[in-house]
A and B are shown apart, each in its own frame.
Chain A
Amino acid sequence: NAGVTQTPKFRILKIGQSMTLQCTQDMNHNYMYWYRQDPGMGLKLIYYSVGAGITDKGEVPNGYNVSRSTTEDFPLRLELAAPSQTSVYFCASTFGRGAEAFFGQGTRLTVV
């Protein structure tokens, strides 16, 4: 039972490069979320999805894009990476409506 799987675990990007953070869940959850975690700032919501084909912005969406073509996958795309995007990124999924959220192991991204 894999739960929520994020890849890669670590990545170093150069300024201006692009990359996709992958997130897959095998629990048939409709709700999926992307967060970034910066020291002392908690988890800030980037984007979320309530089902395949439906996405919405969170608190800090600038510089990121998402898509949700299947229930299982919710990739996060970084275009033109900037040092301000250096962070730890977490993907989470849940049945919603007060249910427990399950998290991936996180991706530590450094932009230099």
Chain B
Amino acid sequence: AQTVTQSQPEMSVQEAETVTLSCTYDTSESNYYLFWYKQPPSRQMILVIRQEAYKQQNATENRFSVNFQKAAKSFSLKISDSQLGDTAMYFCAFMMSSGGSNYKLTFGKGTLLTVNP
């Protein structure tokens, strides 16, 4: 079974600084997709960034970038120039086919990030 592990339950960072959230996953497959979702206090889940396993280039979206290490099964999220609005729960997620077109989406336990002024 695919598993996603986020080893940091909580983190904090000062405004304008950089922070990295960790995520590891377990799979024997070679074709899969990885995501980071953000859940602010409003409870709405928002996609931050996604990565396709067959692409070696790390994805970036403005201040957000990932460090994808396929051999190590690691997918960390780097937030640069942290802003107060980045305060949220961050979930790492993994999507893989469990047979044919049967795509299951699995989440980690989340990391609560607090950005301090």
Contact = CB atoms under 8 A, between A and B. Distances in A.
Majority DSSP secondary structure for residues of B touching A = strand
A96 to B, nearest CB: 4
Interface string A85-110: 00010101010111011010110000
A42 B45 CA distance: 12
A109 to B, nearest CB: 14
A103 B103 contact: no
Given A43-B91, A100-B50, A33 B105 contact: yes
Contacts of A48: 104-105
A79 B101 CA distance: 30
Contact of A92 (B102, B105, B106): B105
Contacts of B97: 97
Interface stretch (B11-19, B67-75, B76-84, B107-115): B107-115
B110 A42 contact: yes
Contacts of B104: 45, 48, 56, 58
Interface residues of A, number: 25
B44 interface: yes
Nearest to B107: A43
B81 to A, nearest CB: 24
B44 A56 contact: no
B109 A98 contact: no
Given A92-B105, A97-B33, 20 more contacts: A31-B105, A35-B107, A40-B9, A40-B109, A41-B109, A42-B108, A43-B107, A44-B107, A45-B106, A50-B101, A56-B102, A56-B104, A94-B105, A97-B97, A98-B33, A100-B47, A101-B47, A101-B105, A103-B44, A103-B45
20 contacts: A31-B105, A33-B105, A40-B109, A42-B108, A42-B109, A43-B91, A50-B103, A56-B102, A90-B45, A96-B95, A97-B97, A97-B101, A98-B33, A98-B52, A100-B47, A100-B50, A101-B35, A101-B45, A101-B47, A103-B45
Interface of A: 31, 33, 35, 40-45, 48, 50, 56, 58, 88, 90, 92, 94, 96-98, 100-101, 103, 105-106
